[in-house]
Amino acid sequence: MFDIGFSELIVIALVALIVIGPERLPRVARTLGALLGRAQRYVNDVKSDIQREVDLDELKNIRSTFQDAAKSVEQSVNQAGEELQAAGESLNQSVSGSVEAKNESLAQEPAADNAIPAASAQLDLGLEAKPAADPAAAPKD
């Protein structure tokens, strides 16, 4: 931390013993130990608070990443749903168009059937104008 070696610590202890004296040295050492312990706890608390903030920021980044991924998945699902709905609508339209065409063809078929009897009626009229040979009225041989 301060790059102090063992020899330098012995010099500091000898100077403290001479300046403070042997009677007050244990009390000063105890007070210094308590202050150093408090400083270490404070530094550890600050480190843990900083680590929590970093972790919180990482979690927020992860959360935003997941939210972006969820939005993109939701958009793709919505797009696929719209495509399916459009395909369903086009199928419904084609089915209804074919049903309408079939109905129209069925509606036109009776008209065509009506045209045939009308033509046969004209033919019948044409045949009535000529005397028809009746097989029952024909002479028997």
Q: Dump pLDDT digits (tens) for 59-94.
A: 999 999 999 999 999 999 999 999 999 999 988 888
Residue 136 domain flag: no
Q: Largest Cα–Cα distance of the chain, in whole Å? A: 171
Q: Is residue 95 within a helix (H) or strand (E), and if so which, with residue range? A: helix 25-129
Domain span holding position 54:
6-117
Q: Are the C-beta atoms of 41 and 49 separated by less than 8 Å?
A: no
Q: Is residue 110 within a helix (H) or strand (E), and if so which, with residue range? A: helix 25-129
Give CA 75 to chain center in angstroms: 6
Q: Which tokens is 19 given?
A: 């300046």
Residue 140 domain flag: no
Residue 134 domain flag: no
pTM comes to 0.42
What is the domain count for the chain?
Answer: 1
What are phi and psi for residue 27, nearest 5 degrees?
Answer: -65, -40
